[in-house]
Amino acid sequence: ETIENCLRCISSQTYPNVEHIVIDGGSTDGTTEILARVADTYRMSWISEPDSGMYNAINKGLRMAQGDILAYLNSDDLYLPYSIEAAVEALSAGRQMIYGDIGLFYPGEPPAFVPHFYPEFDLNYYTHLATLGQPTVFWTRRLTQAVGEFDESYRLLGDCEYWLRAATRGFIPVHVAEILAVQVEHGSTLRATMPELMQKEFLKLRAQYLSEAGPVQGRIRKDVNRRLRWRRDQLLFILAGSERARAWPRFMQFLRDHRINVKKSGLLWFLLPGPIRPSTATLLEPEEIKRALFD
């Protein structure tokens, strides 16, 4: 039910040089019928066959891809129209892996949209306390040639392992101050349906990179800093709505193009602690951003 929105967002990219490969795991839920119907319209190729898990499928796609810049997008997530163009621009400056900020879209009634911001890469922090927003990560073929494919022993956190592996091999991910993707938060995501496996794989991941990252450092201090930085970024997001915005300029232009205003009143909610903040709190009018993303 989400695949066509994903396909459409890639075919609508402002960057024209996109090779789009869809890897389906032999599904029987109607996905392949959609792929067959829209393949030419959305300029993509696809295969459907059984696999041993998500990262086995991603590795298949990597082997098929011909481009110098690589990324993958799960079928329930979205790129913004400028996402690939922004990533290519950032990687053309000599970086090998970049990641951006992300918009979290909650499709309930009423829907909500919450921007989520990431700090600069720190191996200890991203090993023990946080993860990168997977849909926002782009990297070069040179990096994959150097560090190899995704570890298929992971079912949920192979992407997190890949970012850490790249960093320990000298390919430090670089943060780009732009919202590069939208992650749709619904109850049937793997991370929502397999919490025990998620926790087990986090323990495995942290043990695997303990020698390189060291034990967790300053957990309380970093947690306080994370909360303060999050509120600061919410304020900056509201102030960035001007024509000369330096932060998230492409996303702010996207909002202007769709006549969506950042809700200044929303800041009051985000100053509150999470447990007493309404789940519907949002900085953007939810129905308007839903229309811009999906219509």
- Asked if 247 contacts 71 with a C-beta cutoff of 8 angstroms, the reply is no
The CA distance from 12 to 38, in Å, is 14
pLDDT, mean of residues 229-241: 78
pLDDT, mean of residues 152-156: 96
The CA distance from 70 to 61, in Å, is 10
- Asked if 281 contacts 104 with a C-beta cutoff of 8 angstroms, the reply is no
How high does pLDDT run on average in the chain?
Answer: 90
pLDDT bracket for residue 270 (50, 70, 90):
low
pLDDT beyond 60 at 243: no
DSSP 86-112: HHHHHHTTT-SEEEEEEEEEE-SSS-E
- pLDDT tens across 46-97, in order? 999 999 999 999 999 999 999 999 999 999 999 999 999 999 999 999 999 9
Sequence letter at residue 21: I
Q: In 3D, which of 258, 121, 252, 263 has the Cα closest to residue 179? A: 252
DSSP classification of residue 53 = S
Count CA atoms closer than 13 A to 283's CA, side-chain side.
22
Residue 280, token pair as written in the block: 């519907």
The CA distance from 169 to 42, in Å, is 36
The CA distance from 3 to 34, in Å, is 8
The CA distance from 280 to 286, in Å, is 9
- Asked if 82 contacts 254 with a C-beta cutoff of 8 angstroms, the reply is yes
The enclosing H or E element of 237 equals helix 219-239
DSSP classification of residue 50 = -
pLDDT bracket for residue 241 (50, 70, 90):
low
Residue 165, token pair as written in the block: 């592996």
pLDDT beyond 70 at 201: yes
Which of 18-27, 42-51, 219-228, 248-257 is predicted least confidently? 219-228
Count CA atoms closer than 13 A to 245's CA, side-chain side.
21
Sequence letter at residue 229: R
Exposure string of 230-265, with b = 16+ CB inside 10 Å and e = fewer, is eeebbeebbebbeeebebbbbbbebbeeeebebbee
pLDDT, mean of residues 142-153: 98
pLDDT bracket for residue 240 (50, 70, 90):
confident
141 CB burial (10 A radius; 0-12, 13-18, 19+): middle
Residue 5, token pair as written in the block: 């929105």
Which of 104-118, 169-183, 184-198 is predicted least confidently? 184-198
pTM over 0.85: yes
Q: In 3D, which of 211, 101, 223 has the Cα closest to residue 164? A: 211
